[in-house]
Amino acid sequence: MEKRLGEIANFINGHAFKPTDWEDEGLPIIRIQNLTDPSKPFNRSLKNVPDKYFVSNGDILISWSGTLGVYEWKGKLALLNQHIFKVELTDDNVDRQYFKYVVERSLKRLEEMLRGSTMKHVIKKDFDNLVVPIPDHETQRQIVAALDKAKALTERQERSATGLEQLLRSTFIDMFGDPITNPKNWRIEPLENICTKITDGAHQTPNYQEDGIKFISAKNLKNEKIDWTDVKFITQDEHMSINSRSDVEKGDILLSKSGSLGQAVIVNVDFQFSIYESLALIKYDREILTPFYLWACFNSEPIQFLLRKAHKGVAVKHIHLTNLKKIPIPIPPRKLLLQFEIIAGRINQIRKKLEQTSELANNLFQSLMQRAFHGDLIVDLDVQLDGLLESGNFQTIEQDRELIQTLVNRFNDDKLKSMGYDEIADIYRFKSEAEYNRAKDALFHLLKNEKVTQTAIEVKDEPYQTRLERSKT
């Protein structure tokens, strides 16, 4: 059975609150930014409005202008701003959660139709007339159960990814301190003094081809890596011409000069490609610095602040090479840099595990969405989601994170080399000597048996590695 959305629910648009209605007290006003980012502050108002504009915990809200999305309000009594629908279901045969999923799918289809528009918004008449499948209540329940599992998997992946990012950032600060205030008093050098080349890519748009050498710009830097799914192509001759200026090699750093300013990635591919002017190419002295350290420096909040602000504190829209070359970079001892390479390299491996798990879950989710709402719910997809949730992948990832954190603690505490089990247990709260020994064995397995980068393998002759070997006996 199919029905129009207007047949199964009423959609109440919010009130057009004006800035003059905003006050320091009163009920919070729910705007689209409060739905897309719960950390955003609320405007408040004491204005007397009709009851239909009040939002209670559990109400379903739909943003229909600018950002299209379905949300469930999880908060106290609030006021509804314009450009958001409050949903009042009128059909008792429609499950609330099913309604959320089917509207979410409909909005994605609308978003694809509106792609390229400068302003995405839905006219209420068109929204009311959207036709959606309404199967029997039991089928709705099955669809919701399967999609809930897929959503739970995605949320776990996001939490794990956030935890890894926080761990890497805190590890960097613990080992090296704030790169601007430099509390550990490392030697400071301007970036240009510790690089063999700092340049950018082609300043003229090349002649694109259907195939050839890959050509990327700042828009291809996403989530701290290069996105190769949407690249341009140029001829070999044009590549060679650009390459004479910006010869990108594995291990170099690329940094976005425009667009999303200051994004830094490590080049981790061997094949040749060219870059546009919106990307800076940083060839650092590999005898002085290591890739993960310099990458972490650029992505730290203090350096990001410097990159995005001009000398007078005004936000910039473009990073100039002249300013980039002057960025101060602390130079810690190489032994410490190599220790960080091991930790960051391992975290990067776990990130790849998460990406693989996430990709599989998303593929299953999309397949399930397409088939479920066409009346073709298949059990094997549901079973596969169960398998992913119970596979132990996330448990392994959490265990890896704990081992890495313990490894960080040990690297940062020289006193451990002279401590016995009792003292270490008091610091790190091991429940028993057997647990301590298991953790210790796991750490050595991580260092000696895990496949890490060549840089990490070279660390075996450093003093800290010898210290760990002695602690093992």
Task: Please give the helix or strand (H or E) that residue 221 lies within, else none.
Answer: strand 221-222
Q: How many CA atoms lie within 13 A of 429 on its CB side?
A: 1
- What integer is the mean pLDDT of 258-286? 93
- 56: confidence class by pLDDT, cuts 50, 70, 90: very high
pLDDT the model gives residue 373: 62
pLDDT the model gives residue 181: 93
200 has pLDDT over 90: yes
Report the DSSP pairing between strands 78-80 and 213-216.
Answer: unpaired
In terms of Cβ atoms closer than 10 Å to its own Cβ (0-12, 13-18, 19+), residue 230 is exposed
- 401: confidence class by pLDDT, cuts 50, 70, 90: low
More confident residue, 390 or 12: 12
pLDDT the model gives residue 14: 95
The answer to whether the beta carbons of residues 41 and 132 sit under 8 Å apart is no
More confident residue, 37 or 273: 273
221 has pLDDT over 50: yes
pLDDT digits (tens, 9 = 90+) for 318-358: 899 999 999 999 999 999 999 898 888 888 877 777 777 66
424 has pLDDT over 60: no
pLDDT the model gives residue 414: 46
Residue type for 472, please? K
pLDDT the model gives residue 223: 80
- 468: confidence class by pLDDT, cuts 50, 70, 90: very low
The answer to whether the beta carbons of residues 211 and 339 sit under 8 Å apart is no
Would you give the DSSP letter of residue 246? -
SS3 81: strand
Would you give the DSSP letter of residue 389? H
pLDDT digits (tens, 9 = 90+) for 277-319: 999 999 999 999 999 999 999 999 999 888 877 544 556 678 9
- 417: confidence class by pLDDT, cuts 50, 70, 90: very low
Instruction: Provide the percentage of residues in the chain whose pLDDT is more than 90.
Output: 45
Which residues touch 297 (CB under 8 Å, ≥6 apart)?
179, 303, 329, 330
371 has pLDDT over 50: yes
- What integer is the mean pLDDT of 371-378? 56
Tokens of residue 349, six digits: 């491996």
452 has pLDDT over 50: no
391 has pLDDT over 60: no
SS3 content of the chain, % helix, strand, coil (to 5): 50, 20, 30
450 has pLDDT over 80: no
pLDDT the model gives residue 165: 79
pLDDT the model gives residue 176: 94
Radius of gyration of the chain (CA): 27
Which residues touch 262 (CB under 8 Å, ≥6 apart)?
255, 256, 298, 303, 304, 307, 308, 319
Give residue 424's Cα distance to chain centre: 35
| Residue 98: closest CA among 63, 127, 126, 135 | 135
Which residues touch 215 (CB under 8 Å, ≥6 apart)?
202, 206, 208, 231, 232, 233, 234, 239, 273, 274, 275, 276
Q: Give Cα separations from 77 to 37, 64, 267, 466 (angstroms).
A: 18, 22, 49, 61
- What integer is the mean pLDDT of 110-136? 73
Would you give the DSSP letter of residue 470? H
Note every long-range contact of 171-175, with CB atoms under 8 Å and residues 24 or more positions apart, other chains counting: 171/340, 171/343, 171/344, 171/404, 171/408, 172/296, 172/300, 172/340, 173/300, 174/408, 174/412, 175/332, 175/336, 175/339, 175/340, 175/408, 175/411, 175/412
Instruction: Provide the percentage of residues in the chain whose pLDDT is more than 70.
Output: 72
The answer to whether the beta carbons of residues 346 and 446 sit under 8 Å apart is yes
Judged by average pLDDT, the poorest of 100-109, 237-246, 404-413 is 404-413
What gap in Å lies between CA 410 and CA 174, rounded to an integer? Answer: 12
Judged by average pLDDT, the poorest of 4-13, 179-188, 304-313, 342-351 is 304-313
Judged by average pLDDT, the poorest of 17-31, 226-240, 380-394 is 380-394
Domains 2-134 and 190-331 share a fold: yes
pLDDT the model gives residue 38: 82
Q: Which CATH superfamily is domain 190-331 in?
A: DNA methylase specificity domains (3.90.220.20)
472 has pLDDT over 50: no
| Residue 168: closest CA among 365, 349, 379 | 349
- 423: confidence class by pLDDT, cuts 50, 70, 90: very low
- What integer is the mean pLDDT of 367-388? 54
The answer to whether the beta carbons of residues 256 and 262 sit under 8 Å apart is yes
Alpha-carbon dihedral 47, 49, 55, 56, rounded to 10 degrees: 90
- What integer is the mean pLDDT of 369-382? 54
pLDDT the model gives residue 451: 32
The answer to whether the beta carbons of residues 91 and 7 sit under 8 Å apart is yes
What gap in Å lies between CA 461 and CA 467, rounded to an integer? Answer: 11
11 has pLDDT over 70: yes
Tokens of residue 22, six digits: 């905003």
Q: Looking at domain 2-134, which CATH architecture does it have? A: Alpha-Beta Complex (3.90)
pLDDT the model gives residue 469: 34
pLDDT digits (tens, 9 = 90+) for 135-168: 888 888 888 887 887 777 777 777 777 777 788 8
More confident residue, 115 or 44: 44
Residue type for 374, please? H
pLDDT the model gives residue 203: 93
Residue type for 379, please? V
- What integer is the mean pLDDT of 233-254? 94
SS3 358: helix
List the chain domain ranges: 2-134, 190-331, 337-472
The answer to whether the beta carbons of residues 79 and 15 sit under 8 Å apart is yes
Tokens of residue 429, six digits: 């709260």
